[in-house]
Amino acid sequence: MLKLSSKTIGKETILHQFHTCREGCARYNLPVNFEVSLENHFDRDTISSLLNAIEDRERHCLLLNPKKMDKGTFSSNFPKAKPHPFVDNAFFYEKEDYEFGKSILYASGAIYIQDAAAMMVAFLLAAKEGETCIDLCAAPGGKTIGYSFFTKEKGAVVSNDLSMPRAKELSSNIERLGLGNVYVTCSPTKDLAKFYGPSFDNIILDAPCSGSAMFRKNDKAKEDWTIEKVRSCASTQKELLENGYKLLKEGGKLIYSTCSFSYEENEENILSFLSLHEDMEILPLPDSPLFFRPEKLKESIYLLPHLFPGEGQYIALLRKKGNREIPPSHKLPKKENSGDMYRLLNDFGVSSPYITSYKGSLYHLPCPLLFPPSTLRCGVKIKESEKEHIPDHALSHFLSSSNSISLSLEEAKAYLKGETVQAKEKDGIYPVSYMNLNLGFAKVVKGVAKNHYPKGLRKTFLEEIAY
C-alpha cells in the first residue's frame, strides 16, 4: 500500500506501492486511490474486511409506519422479514421473498424503504416528543420520516433540500406516509439560518458526500468517486455545519452523518468544527459490537457493512451547551375553529385549531411554526383552493380509515389503476381503504365510487403480496 511520510523513499518503491494499490482496487472494481484513502483511519484488517463487504450484495430494509400498521400484524403476515437490531419498527427482507416496493403497503404509506444504517440517525438522536427539528439536506426523506415516527409526530419538523426536483420527491414521500407535522422547504441552509436563527431543539445534517458507502448498491457512485470529490464535499460539509450551528438552540443537539468512509468528510470535519465552537461538545454514542469507533474521535461511530447489516454510515452527535428556551416569535397565533374547512376536518374525525392558506391552497397545521417563502408544503394539504369540492389526496393518507369505504384486494388494485368501484355508502366524499390502509378519495354517486386517485400515481401493476 502507498504510505505517505516525511521520509525520502526511492522512485522504484513509490512505483511498486502505487501499482500494488491499483491492483488491489482493480480486484474489487473500486476507484484508484480509494483503498489508500482508507489508511488515514482504518487498520489493515478493517480495510480488507470492508473491501470484501463492498463486494457482497446490498441489504434491504424498511420502516413500518406505526400509525398505519403494528409490528405484530406485519410480522404475522410477512414471517420471513427479520427485525432491525436497534430500530423498533424496522425489518430486513429479501426481494426474492417480498417485492415491497410494488405493493399496496408501499402505495398506502404503510412502509418506507430505507437503508438500515441510515435509520440509525433518527434512532441515535433520541429526540423527545414535542421538540422542533430541522433536517437540512433531507431528500428523499428517510431521516425526517424516521424522526417523525420516533417522536410520534409531536413537534414541528422543517425538512429541507436545496434541489427543487429532490425537494418535490421529498414532499411526495411525506405525503404518501401521511405525516402531519412536516414542512418541506427548498432553500440554501444559510437562508434558513437567517430566517429562523437559533430556533431548533434538533438538527439533522445528513451531509452531501462522496458516497463510498453506496458502492455496492450503485455503480455510478464508484464511477464518480475521486479524492478530489472527497475534498470538495468536505468543504461544503463545513459550511453546512456552520449553518446548522446558527439554527441550533442552546441545549439542542445536532446529529451529523454521511454515507462516506473518508476521514476528511467525517472525523476531520467534526474535529475542525469543535475547535471553532467552544460552546459545542460531542456526545458519546452507545457501545455495540456492530459499531466501529475511529481512533481519532471515539465518541463517533462508523456503521461498516462487514459489522453492521447495512450499506454504511458515519454518525457523530453534538450538543450546544446551555439551557433550551422556545422563542415565541416563531410560533403561529392560534386560530379559532370555524368555517367550512373545520367542519370538513371534523367530519373526517380531525380536530385542529390551525388552518392556513398558502399559495392558494389550504393546509392543516397540527404543529404550527412559521415557514419561509421557499416552503413547498406546510403540514397536511386539505384542498387545492376554497373552490375545490374534493379534498387533496394528501389528506386521505393523513386520516384514519375509520370513516372509509373498505375495499377488497381486487377492488383496491382496480382503484389504484384509476377505475371506479361499487359502494353501498350514501352519496358523499369518502376515503377508500384496503385492510384499514387509506389509498385515496372517492366520490360516491348512486352506488358508484368515482375515482379521485391522482393520475400521476396510478399503478398498472402491483406485486401480489399475501396480505
Q: Are residues 179 and 248 in the same domain?
A: yes
Q: Which of 199, 195, 222, 198 is nearest to 210 (CA)?
A: 222
pLDDT at 33: 87
Which residue, of 320, 348, 383, is where some domain finishes? 320
Q: Within its chain, how far is the Cα of 427 from the centroid? A: 39
pLDDT at 344: 72
Average pLDDT on 221-241 reads 96
Structural domain contains residue 63: no
Structural domain contains residue 429: yes
pLDDT at 368: 82
Beta carbons of 437 and 108 less than 8 angstroms apart: yes
Q: Are residues 400 and 308 in the same domain?
A: no
Q: Are residues 231 and 356 in the same domain?
A: no
Q: Are residues 158 and 135 in the same domain?
A: yes
Q: Are residues 220 and 311 in the same domain?
A: yes
Q: Are residues 254 and 367 in the same domain?
A: no
Residue 250 has pLDDT above 90, yes or no: yes
Structural domain contains residue 116: no
Category of 325 on φ-ψ map: left (φ > 0), alpha (ψ -120 to 50) or beta: beta
- Say which DSSP state 63 is in: E
For 368, the domain range is 334-394
Residue 463 has pLDDT above 70, yes or no: no
Give the total number of structural domains in the chain: 3
Residue 275 has pLDDT above 60, yes or no: yes
Banded pLDDT at 325 (limits 50, 70, 90): low
* Sequence-ordered list of residues with C-beta below 8 angstroms from that of 129, at least 6 positions apart, any chain: 151, 152, 154, 155
* Sequence-ordered list of residues with C-beta below 8 angstroms from that of 1, at least 6 positions apart, any chain: 17, 20, 21, 24, 35, 36, 39, 44
Q: Are residues 172 and 209 in the same domain?
A: yes
Residue 332 has pLDDT above 80, yes or no: no
Cα 426 to Cα 176, 401, 416, distances in angstroms: 27, 17, 22
The CATH number of residue 151's host domain is 3.40.50.150
pLDDT at 331: 57
Residue 273 has pLDDT above 50, yes or no: yes
Structural domain contains residue 183: yes
Tell me, yes or no, if 259 is annotated catalytic: yes
pLDDT at 29: 64
Average pLDDT on 226-235 reads 96
Q: Are residues 198 and 280 in the same domain?
A: yes
- Say which DSSP state 360 is in: T
Banded pLDDT at 435 (limits 50, 70, 90): very high
d(CA 382, CA 365): 10
Structural domain contains residue 61: no
Q: Are residues 307 and 355 in the same domain?
A: no
Average pLDDT on 442-456 reads 94
The CATH number of residue 449's host domain is 2.30.130.60
Q: Are residues 433 and 353 in the same domain?
A: no
Structural domain contains residue 35: no
Half-sphere exposure at residue 36, Cβ-oriented, CA atoms within 13 angstroms: 17
Which residue, of 265, 288, 320, is where some domain finishes? 320
Average pLDDT on 33-58 reads 92
* Sequence-ordered list of residues with C-beta below 8 angstroms from that of 43, at least 6 positions apart, any chain: none
Q: Are residues 137 and 255 in the same domain?
A: yes
Which residue, of 357, 372, 394, is where some domain finishes? 394
pLDDT at 349: 78
Which is more confident, 9 or 304?
304
Average pLDDT on 436-441 reads 96
Q: Which one is catalytic: 233, 259, 367, 378?
A: 259
Residue 153 has pLDDT above 80, yes or no: yes
